[in-house]
Amino acid sequence: MAALGVVVAFMVAEIVAGLLAHSLALLADAGHMLTDAAALLLAVVTSRLVRRPARGAFTYGLARMDALSGQANGITLVLLALWFVVEGVRRLVTPAQVHGGVVAVVAVVGAAVNVLATMLAGRADRSSLNVRGVLAHLLTDVWAFAATFVAGVVVVTTGWLRADAVASLAVAALMAWTGVRLVREAGRVFLEAAPNGLDPLALGADLARSDGVAQVHDLHVWVLGSQENAVSAHVLVRPTHDCHQVADQLRELLAQRYGIGHVTLQVDHEDNNRHDADSCVDAHGIVHTAPAASS
């Protein structure tokens, strides 16, 4: 909330300065600041929604609101970037009169404001896609203000008015890069991809190497929300081992090695599934079998 207050106050000042200075670069960055403010506000609201317990039709609760708002932020950034590209190209063709001194001064103040806002927002939970998006926005703004400052100095020292349009295109590129990354990360959540940095093949091999495990198949690893990952699998246990004991052992492995506590395992003795092809009519993914040395 503190970062939000800082960003909104400066955004209003930047819009006024951009209009007075006829600077598209300042207005472009004010648009970026608007998405920063929206991202911060959504992060605050979402952090409260995701804590609500599962109920009714929402059996997972509202954990994925975090990804939904992150995706909305990303799409907004991309759309704004497209608009500023169009305007930037138009001003390259027909440059407007820009007050470079105002642009340079506002850019310096803006960089300081963004550093402050980044420090404040950085105190929040960085496992949240929303918070990571906010930090990415704010850090991108620092670079954007650097480009705007250079444009202002160039206009003052050389009188080359197109520098403002070039800076706005640079800001648009940064906005598009950040937006696409947010949309891609949110898409991974909605498509139930494995968490970033986690290799499902390595995880399945680890489970299959555990004592008493004969085979692991129908293995799924996905992201429930910013705070929690999940695993489900069908595990065949050797006849000489206890199913419950092996299941507890696998849950402990997943918790300690992979930090996954939401685990659903269907555990059966190998004798009950003599024909592995029939154990799952439509098993998904690779079948992980215990190494021959452990037989």
In this structure, what token pair is assigned to residue 3? 């970062």
Model pTM above 0.85: no
Mean pLDDT for the chain? 82
Q: Phi/psi at 253 (nearest 5 deg)?
A: -60, -45
- Express each pLDDT in 152-174 by its tens digit: 888 888 888 888 788 888 888 88
pLDDT band at 45 (very low <50, low <70, confident <90, very high): confident
Q: How far apart are CA 171 and CA 213, in angstroms?
A: 54
Distance CA(65)–CA(59), nearest Å, equals 14
Q: Where are the domains of the chain?
A: 2-190, 200-294
The pLDDT assigned to 236 comes to 93
- Most trustworthy range by pLDDT among 94-103, 139-148, 153-162: 153-162
Instruction: Reduce the DSSP state of residue 180 to 3 states and report it.
Output: helix
Q: What angle do CA 35, 39, 45 make, to 5 degrees?
A: 145
Q: What is the DSSP letter of 270?
A: G
β-pairing verdict for 228-237 and 213-225: antiparallel
CATH architecture of the domain 2-190 equals Up-down Bundle (1.20)
Q: Where are the beta strands (DSSP E) in the chain?
A: 213-225, 228-237, 262-269, 288-289
CATH architecture of 200-294: 2-Layer Sandwich (3.30)
Domains 2-190 and 200-294 share a fold: no
